[in-house]
């Protein structure tokens, strides 16, 4: 079994990820060398970067073709890292273009703001749930490290059914001890948790092999769950539909 990335900036020329298709191919090659077989490409979907999510599937197809030509054994899926204000701007179809999972179990990667969460994040999460999308919160440990008092807000979102995506570099201590502590807490306490590289190339390379080693160091009984099984399961089975969507 190979690793599966659910948070990875791989598409060229769109955000703060690789600048060119050559850079994207080299970043994907580094991921393959790290042991990864599938990457969900998650460009920043926010007002100053990607706003037309329906343009992304064509770019993913182009990149997959380029990877085949270059002999890089990586499958790229179409996703996005949704900034919470966009929850109120995008249509259901535009959101669905970056969602994962089968019909009735679709979910979105919702970015936890690095400056911390506030009521607008909660409102966005409620908006997405109300429209039938499950949510995986991207790097909540970094938001909690910014404002530790907000951890209960993240915990309440997890209680409402959100999954969490933890960054390898948080586990490694790259963002400081607070982020590392919250990362470990989220992994131990969340029913749905995955670990991803949030790679951008440059200073933040693919790192799931390192992530697995760090998880092994925590004494978890099935560390590969977070780098292989859980991300693969989220792609194939999705998240359960929010209760509000079932009732609607």
Q: Cα(12)–Cα(27) distance, rounded to whole angstroms? A: 10
Min dist. Cβ of residue 109 to Fe ion (A): 8
Interacting positions 204-243 with Fe ion (CB under 5 A): none
Residues touching Fe ion: how many (CB under 5 A)?
2
Pick the binder of Fe ion from 3, 198, 212, 215 (CB under 5 A). 198
Q: Is residue 15 near Fe ion by the rule CB under 5 A? A: no
For residue 196, give every residue at least 6 positions away whose Cβ sits within 8 Å of its Cβ, in sequence order, or none: 5, 6, 7, 8, 165, 166, 167, 168, 208, 211, 231
Contact 81, 138 (CB under 8 A): yes
Q: What are phi and psi of 222, to 5 degrees?
A: -135, 70
Min dist. Cβ of residue 81 to Fe ion (A): 5
Task: Indicate the residue among 5 and 157 with the shorter CB distance to Fe ion.
Answer: 5
Q: Of the ranges 70-78, 85-93, 175-183, 191-199, which one interacts with Fe ion (CB under 5 A)?
A: 191-199
Pick the binder of Fe ion from 81, 141, 157, 228 (CB under 5 A). 81
Task: Indicate the residue among 157 and 198 with the shorter CB distance to Fe ion.
Answer: 198
For residue 221, give every residue at least 6 positions away whose Cβ sits within 8 Å of its Cβ, in sequence order, or none: none
Q: Of the ranges 25-33, 174-182, 190-198, 221-229, which one interacts with Fe ion (CB under 5 A)?
A: 190-198
Min dist. Cβ of residue 17 to Fe ion (A): 9
Distance set, CA 99 to CA 16, 67, 105, 215 (Å): 21, 23, 10, 27
Q: Is the dihedral of CA 40, 43, 46, 51 positive or negative?
A: negative
Residues of the shown chain interacting with Fe ion in the complex, contacts defined by CB under 5 A: 81, 198
């Amino acid at each position: 079994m190979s690793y599966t990335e659910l948070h990875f900036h791989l598409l060229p020329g769109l955000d703060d990820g690789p600048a060119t298709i050559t850079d994207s191919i080299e970043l994907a090659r580094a991921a393959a060398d790290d042991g990864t077989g599938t990457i969900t490409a998650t460009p920043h979907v926010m007002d100053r970067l990607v706003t037309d999510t329906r343009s992304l599937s064509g770019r993913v197809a182009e990149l997959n073709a380029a990877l085949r030509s270059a002999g890089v054994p990586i499958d790229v899926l179409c996703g996005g890292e949704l900034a919470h204000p966009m929850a109120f701007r995008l249509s259901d179809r535009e959101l669905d273009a970056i969602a994962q999972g089968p019909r009735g179990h679709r979910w979105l990667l919702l970015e936890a703001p690095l400056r911390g969460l506030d009521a607008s994040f909660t409102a966005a999460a409620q908006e997405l749930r109300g429209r039938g999308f499950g949510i995986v919160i991207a790097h909540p440990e970094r938001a909690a490290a910014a404002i530790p008092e907000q951890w209960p807000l993240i915990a309440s979102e997890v209680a409402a059914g959100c999954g969490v995506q933890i960054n390898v570099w948080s586990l490694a201590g790259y963002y400081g001890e607070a982020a590392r502590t919250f990362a470990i807490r989220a992994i131990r306490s969340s029913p749905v948790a995955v670990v991803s590289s949030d790679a951008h190339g440059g200073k933040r390379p693919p790192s799931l092999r390192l992530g697995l080693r760090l998880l092994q160091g925590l004494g978890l009984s099935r560390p590969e769950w977070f780098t292989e099984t859980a991300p693969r399961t989220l792609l194939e089975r999705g998240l359960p539909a929010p209760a509000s969507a079932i009732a609607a």
